[in-house]
Amino acid sequence: MTKATPQAGRPAAGQQGFHLGADIAAPSGNYRWVKLWGWPIRLMHWLAVGTMVALVVTGLYIGKPYFMAGGDTRDHFLMGWMRFIHFAAAAIFATTAIWRIYWLFAGNRFERLPALFPIRPRDWVNMVKQVKFYAMIEPEKAPHYLGHNPLQQLSYTGVYFLAMVMIVSGFALYGQSDPSGFFYKAFNWVGIVMGGMPVVRFVHHVLTWAFLIFIPMHIYLAVRADVLERGGVISSIFTGGRFVPAKHHFVDGEDLNE
């Protein structure tokens, strides 16, 4: 019997539903299956992935219209569509962000604030070991995490921060077309803080590249973990859980370790 109610006031582990702290399967052979991500996180992740791809593609076109429509103006709406898709995707993207913020407080312990931001001293200590792990120096000494390891925490923190800046700067840009409208009034401070709308646009543009740098590394690390650990890390973001070696000691899974 495994104690699996890490947070007081939470429903007891073992019950289905996204309020569970963590569903940890009983050991079976060398592996056990651990439930990590509730469906809201998974949905959010894939919505974010989809909209972000759309945002990057359309955003880069908006920034530099690299192909053109010839002929009569009335027959085309190329930039119009690009912007429409950008704004529609932006709306979904922003919604997922709001959702994620809520879920920082409502999610399970792998989804909550402390699991996403390296705010505990132990995370910083472990981060060094984690860096060594990826540098393939003493990889065996790397700490095991069920959820995000500190390096992942940091990079996700970074990505969420980026996303916030994109959203805020995006809506500030969006508001410009109607100075009496809601978005102008709600986001006009952004221009003042950043030093003018041109700077806002610059920031919005530059950070697009930050995403394009994050994405390949992120996908790689997920795949790598999957291959090395054979635990189904990738499928975790589809199914919500993964297999973990039963013998490992997990930094964020004390209750799992006998």
Partner 1 sequence: MSFLNPLADESLDERLARQGVSRREFMEYCSALCVVLGVGKKFAPTMAKALQTPQRPPVIWLQLQECTGCVESVLRTAEPTVGDLVLDVISLDYSHALMAGAGHAVEKALHDSMTANAGKYVLLVTGSVPLAENGVYTVIGGRTAKDILEEAGKGAAAVIAVGACAHFGSVQAARPNPTGAVGVADIIKDKPVVNIAGCPPIGDVVTATVVHFLTFGRLPDVDPVGRPLFAYGARIHDQCPRRANFDAGQFVEKFDDEAARKGWCLYHVGCKGPATFSPCPIFQWNTRTSWPIGAGHPCIGCTEPHFWDTMTPFYGRLPDVGGFGIEERVDVLGAALAIGATAGVVAHAAATGVHQMREKNRQLPVVDGPSQGGTPNK
Q: Residue type for 164, please?
A: M
Q: In 3-state terms, what secondary structure has residue 31?
A: strand
**Tokens at 80, concatenated:** 């119009």
* 12 in Cβ contact with 23 (< 8 Å): no
149 lies in the site for partner 1, by CB under 8 A? no
Question: In the 8-state DSSP scheme, what is residue 24?
Answer: E
- In DSSP terms, 152 is beta-bridged to none
Give the C-alpha separation, 240 to 229, whole Å: 17
- Applying CB under 8 A, the span of 88-96, 106-114, 143-151, 202-210 interacting with partner 1 comes to 202-210
Helix axes 197-229, 182-194, angle to 10 degrees: 90
Burial class (CB in 10 A: 0-12, 13-18, 19+), 147: buried
Instruction: Pick the closer one to partner 1 by CB: 13 or 54.
Output: 13
Q: Could you list the residues that contact ligand HEM (CB under 6 A)?
A: 41, 45, 48-49, 52, 55-56, 59-60, 62-63, 83, 86-87, 90, 93-94, 111, 116, 148, 152, 156, 159, 166-167, 170-171, 173-174, 201, 204-205, 208, 211, 215, 218-219, 222, 233-234, 236-237
Measured from the CB of residue 90, what is the shortest distance to partner 1 in angstroms?
16
**Tokens at 78, concatenated:** 């190329």
How far apart, in Å, are the Cα atoms of 22 and each of 1, 216, 236?
Answer: 14, 29, 13
- Applying CB under 8 A, the span of 36-44, 74-82, 119-127, 162-170 interacting with partner 1 comes to 74-82
213 lies in the site for partner 1, by CB under 8 A? yes
217 lies in the site for partner 1, by CB under 8 A? yes
- In DSSP terms, 241 is beta-bridged to 35
Measured from the CB of residue 135, what is the shortest distance to partner 1 in angstroms?
9
Q: Which helix (DSSP H) or strand (DSSP E) does residue 18 occupy?
A: none
Instruction: Pick the closer one to ligand HEM by CB: 4 or 48.
Output: 48
Measured from the CB of residue 39, what is the shortest distance to ligand HEM in angstroms?
13
Q: Which residues make up the interface to partner 1 (CB under 8 A)?
A: 2, 4, 13-14, 23-26, 28-33, 35, 63-65, 67-70, 73-80, 82-83, 134, 136, 139, 176-177, 179-180, 188, 192, 195-199, 201-202, 205-206, 208-210, 212-214, 216-217, 220, 224, 228, 230, 239, 243, 245
